[in-house]
Chains A and B, each alone.
Chain A
Amino acid sequence: MTDNPQSYRADGDGTGVGTGDGAGAGDGAGAGAGNTVAAAAVHAPAHEPPLWRVRHFFHRHPEAVPLFVLLCSLAGFGLALGGKFFSPFALTLILQQVAVVGIVGAAQTLVILTAGIDLSVGAVMVLSSVVMGQFTFRYGLPPAAAVACGFAVGALCGAVNGFLVARVRLPPFIVTLGMWQIVLATNFLYSANETIRSQDIAAQASLLQFFGGKAQLGGAVFTYGVIAMVALVAGLQYALTRTAWGRHVYAVGDDPQAAQLAGVSARRVLFSVYILAGLICALAGWVLIGRIGSVSPTAGQFANIESITAVVIGGVSLFGGRGSIAGMLFGALIVGVFSLGLRLLGADPQWTYLLIGLLIILAIAADQWIRALAR
């Protein structure tokens, strides 16, 4: 505590602490000109314990650990495999392979930041892609309209989740477990388990395969799906760190009661997050068509588990309020690097699962450590 008694402004100097001396929110104008605030000597800290610094660094930069792990694994596989791995082609192949999971993971990150979880993301993604395909081929809708319907279906699923979580206050795990089953069943019933072939789509509705399009840069191949994923992650990173809505998402995940008392509508924030997650899943469904070419109700079966894996390895806390969307992307890329690297090494794919499992447990342990030091 300060020893400087003057750091409290003397009474009667014409400005008052309680009278909104320029601190009115929204005006952004700052202190009134005539304000005679005695500038308090804010003492510089003597020294901070190093562990505190480390924890604080991780807290401020939650993506630092997964980024480090990603760079290490890139370096490791690069050393082991050389040019076979360190080629623009192989590295951009990893991006193509994680595009769908990265997009679904973005939706998952939003929900997990609010201390929820969304088990229905993968199913919503597939249902949206099936709607985009079937509305074009069964009802003859123009592809653009069918895509819009796919997004509407994603938003609707998200809205139902959001309503049940934010309004009825059911636990997200249970709500989305139910939604997962319902959407999956709807998907099979509606599509009659029928796949729309890639050639048909290419011939009649190439818009559906838009995200399979490629931009080539030397040996590097960027599909539009990859570009969409990067743009989405960048946009959400901006929204989460630079807008009020983003602060509110973190605050609601951290302590919903406190956020509510501070004047944030926790219900509205939760609702917006689930709707946005639904829309992002629909985008993932569209990108999925570009990735596999066809529309298949059995595609993307593990997207929900893979998205949770990316989020957890990416250093986002399952308890909410901590982590970043960029971290999730690094998490997804780590999985991609391990899968491709081990495949190129000729290892049994089970090794990938084993190592990813280890990483998940390590990531959770790191999260606990960071949180425990916070007390």
Chain B
Amino acid sequence: MNATVDSVAPVDAAGSVDSTVALMSARGLRKRYGNVTALDDADFELRRGEILAVIGDNGAGKSTLIKILSGAEQPDDGEMQLDGAPARFDSPAAAHAAGVETVYQNLALSPALSIADNLFLGREIRRRGLAGKWLRMLDHREMERQARRKLSDLGLLTIQNIRQTVETLSGGQRQGVAVARATAFGGRIIIMDEPTAALGVKESRRVLRLIRDIKSHGLSVVLVSHNMPHVFEVADRIHIHRLGRRLCVIRPGDYSMDNAVAFMTGAKPAPS
């Protein structure tokens, strides 16, 4: 059910990907919560092999956009395309099946479950042979082994015990677990809603490196962040969200951080 390496965009000899093709796009998204309009005719476009940053004020609707793209919420109106074909994720599991993985802003971890259980929640590994097939027995050891490896690969945490429950972790460690989960299953689109918000300097750098690493393998990343230096450091394009819709998309080379913030807050009119 997971996207595998085969589904990744072809990478040419120079290591760059044809990055003008829209991999995932959306048009006219609307979402209302009661009388709050979170998304109001929002468009979105993620290209193959790029890092797209999404910035915007608090309450601009970034997380709502992410939730719709990842199948966690359904839009009231608007349509989505994946690989040029109409797509609709009616659950996060459907998005996973299409290779879309997400780190949610609230992390979406189960506090009373262990780190390993959280990493594999919804995609558990069964034992080989009869025990797995007929008794549906889980391979706890294999899941723990992979979880340990994933976390040490990320270098995000020194996990004392992979069976430790998530509620015993610090905020930053939890964020590390959520990032590890989103990158562990070979998705081709990784969406991260403020993945570094609770991380220290060193840990943030690791996540930024991870994001570049993901890109270097031809995968695409959506990065929601309030941290302008981070955004300008890694993003290929920046989607500026304002008042529930996409205001504009800029390239970090073309504008300064101050300009981006001015567009975002409405202090300056958006470039056409």
Contacts and interface: CB of A to CB of B under 8 A. Distances in A.
Interface of A: 1-2, 4-5, 7-9, 11-12, 16-20, 22-26, 28, 30-31, 37, 39-40, 42-45, 48, 52, 56, 59-60, 238, 242-245, 247-248, 250-251, 254-255, 257-265, 321-322, 374-375
Given A9-B153, A244-B124, A250 B8 contact: no
B155 interface: yes
Contact of B122 (A8, A56, A262): A262
Contacts of A247: 113, 117, 121, 124, 138
B202 A1 contact: yes
Interface size band for B: 35 or more
Contact of B186 (A24, A248, A263): A24
Contacts of B262: none
A362 B136 CA distance: 37
Interface string B177-213: 0000101111100100000000010110010011011
Please indicate which of the listed interface residues B111, B122, B125, B154 has the most CB atoms of chain A within 10 Å of its own CB.
B122
A25 B110 contact: no
A374 B190 contact: no
A374 B167 contact: yes
B112 A1 contact: no
23 contacts: A8-B155, A17-B153, A17-B213, A19-B219, A20-B2, A25-B124, A26-B126, A28-B126, A28-B128, A37-B149, A37-B152, A40-B155, A43-B160, A60-B163, A244-B124, A254-B111, A254-B112, A257-B108, A262-B108, A263-B91, A263-B123, A322-B112, A374-B111
B148 interface: yes
Contact of A31 (B149, B158, B161, B206): B149
A238 B213 CA distance: 40
A31 B186 CA distance: 13
A44 B160 contact: yes
Contact of A25 (B118, B125, B202): B125
B259 to A, nearest CB: 31
Contacts of B4: 20, 24
Nearest to B8: A19
